[in-house]
């Protein structure tokens, strides 16, 4: 039903190629013809059929964005940044979330490849032992950039935050604030969480503290696991006077538990989160957190990908680690 180049060409008694050239501003076309084509195109309300163009140019101007879940503010923010960064280049983003399910992730990657996306941005949940999907991506020579979660043993571009530094910054801050029994609500069994904990450990050691295993509680990445983790910590004696939480939601859950226990925040227990998620400054006790430059992750990943798509010869993988920044708020504002 919508007009095609053929319609324009027929009406004007020129060839389709001529129309195509005018519309792309390419090739030698007389001013007269150009104007007639343009006019007729406007009259017919012509819109390029991108599917047809993609078939021959092998470019869809579409990139796939694969996220564990995009209701999570962190990933939502990244999605926004990616979309805004690529739009000026004429790209669109096909988004998909796989709910932390590696198999679903793999099948979605294949699906996006079949749709001929020009590139992929992935916050992957694949175990380092299951990298077949990525082999398939590489065979196709579809550029891709990993974000947030690096994968050991995969030579791929990556944009993320320095998780080790997050743990270090948070812990050093708590030490500077005079805490001497610093606990850690760590995240799930993935690399990022391990790195943050390692940063915490190093900072503790450097500060002259001995790490108590009672002070480290494992959990997930939601506020409920933060809440439960904190309840567990509240049973430990002596009570910790500072907690570094895996991320902001966990910290928010932890703060709830602390309040419910009748303890004062930050006087009795100081809390540091990570992520600088929206609303973390609007809580009853605004949360001190480590900003991971969420927005920049999206922007940089997108720019990196676009650059790779643009260049013919494959550039060598590039790793970008964004240095985190401490954002001090009330949850650690105690007499130092």
Only one of the segments 21-29, 65-73, 127-135, 325-333 lies at the binding site for DNA (rule: CB under 7 A); that segment is 21-29
- Tell me which of 39, 57, 127, 267 binds DNA, using CB under 7 A: 57
93 binds, among a copy of itself, DNA, none (CB under 5 to 8 A by kind): a copy of itself
156 secondary structure, DSSP code:
-
293 secondary structure, DSSP code:
-
Burial class for 61, CB neighbours closer than 10 Å (0-12, 13-18, 19+): middle
| Count of positions on this chain that bind a copy of itself (CB under 8 A) | 53
Only one of the segments 159-167, 234-242, 277-285, 317-325 lies at the binding site for a copy of itself (rule: CB under 8 A); that segment is 277-285
> Is residue 56 a contact point for DNA (CB under 7 A)?
yes
**Strands in the chain per DSSP E:** 62-67, 92-97, 119-122, 144-147, 157-161, 182-186, 216-218, 242-245, 270-272, 289-291, 319-322, 325-327
69 binds, among DNA, a copy of itself, none (CB under 5 to 8 A by kind): a copy of itself
Beta bridge partners of 327: 289
**Strands in 109-229 per DSSP E:** 119-122, 144-147, 157-161, 182-186, 216-218
Residue length of the chain: 336
Question: Least distance in Å: CB of 12 to a copy of itself?
Answer: 21
216 secondary structure, DSSP code:
E
Question: Tokens 């940089």, residue?
Answer: 300
Is the Cβ–Cβ distance between 228 and 256 less than 8 Å?
Answer: no
- Tell me which of 32, 129, 237, 282 binds a copy of itself, using CB under 8 A: 282
- Tell me which of 11, 38, 53, 149 binds DNA, using CB under 7 A: 53
Question: Least distance in Å: CB of 83 to DNA?
Answer: 24
Is the Cβ–Cβ distance between 177 and 184 less than 8 Å?
Answer: no
HEC string for 271-284: EECCCCCCCCCCCC
Q: Mask: binding to a copy of itself, 196-235, rule CB under 8 A, as x and -? A: ---------------------------x------------
> Is residue 103 a contact point for a copy of itself (CB under 8 A)?
no
Question: Tokens 């009330």, residue?
Answer: 330
Chain residues that interact with DNA, rule: CB under 7 A = 4-6, 13-18, 20-21, 23-24, 26-34, 46, 48-49, 52-53, 55-57
Chain residues that interact with a copy of itself, rule: CB under 8 A = 1-2, 45, 47-52, 54-55, 60, 62, 69-71, 73, 76-77, 79-80, 83-84, 87, 92-97, 110-116, 136, 139-141, 223, 249, 252-253, 256, 259, 278-279, 282-285
């Amino acid at each position: 039903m919508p007009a095609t180049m053929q319609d324009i060409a027929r009406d004007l008694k020129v060839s389709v190629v001529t129309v195509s050239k005018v519309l792309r501003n390419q090739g030698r076309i007389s001013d007269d013809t150009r104007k007639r084509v343009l006019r007729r195109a406007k009259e017919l309300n012509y819109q390029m059929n991108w599917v047809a163009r993609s078939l021959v140019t092998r470019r869809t101007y579409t990139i796939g964005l694969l996220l564990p879940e995009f209701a999570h503010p962190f990933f939502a923010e990244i999605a926004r940044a990616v979309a805004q960064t690529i739009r000026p280049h004429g790209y669109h983003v096909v988004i998909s979330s796989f709910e932390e399910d590696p198999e679903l992730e793999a099948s979605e990657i294949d699906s996006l490849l079949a749709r001929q996306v020009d590139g992929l941005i992935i916050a992957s949940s694949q175990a380092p032992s299951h990298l077949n999907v990525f082999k398939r991506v590489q065979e196709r020579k579809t550029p891709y950039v990993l974000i947030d979660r690096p994968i050991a043993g995969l030579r791929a571009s990556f944009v993320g935050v320095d998780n080790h530094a997050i743990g270090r910054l948070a812990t050093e801050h708590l030490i500077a604030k005079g805490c001497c029994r610093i606990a850690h609500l760590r995240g799930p069994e993935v690399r990022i969480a391990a790195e943050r904990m390692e940063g915490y450990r190093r900072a503790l050691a450097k500060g002259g503290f001995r790490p108590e295993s009672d002070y480290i509680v494992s959990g997930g990445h939601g506020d409920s696991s933060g809440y439960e983790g904190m309840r567990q910590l509240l049973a430990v004696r002596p009570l910790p006077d500072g907690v570094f939480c895996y991320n902001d939601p966990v910290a928010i859950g932890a703060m709830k538990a602390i309040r419910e226990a009748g303890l004062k925040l930050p006087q009795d227990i100081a809390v540091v989160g990570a992520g600088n998620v929206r609303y973390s400054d609007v809580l009853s006790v605004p949360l001190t957190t480590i900003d991971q430059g969420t927005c920049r992750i999206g922007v940089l990943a997108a720019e990196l990908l676009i650059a790779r798509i643009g260049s013919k010869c494959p550039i060598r993988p590039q790793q970008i680690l964004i240095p985190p920044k401490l954002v001090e708020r009330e949850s650690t504002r105690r007499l130092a």
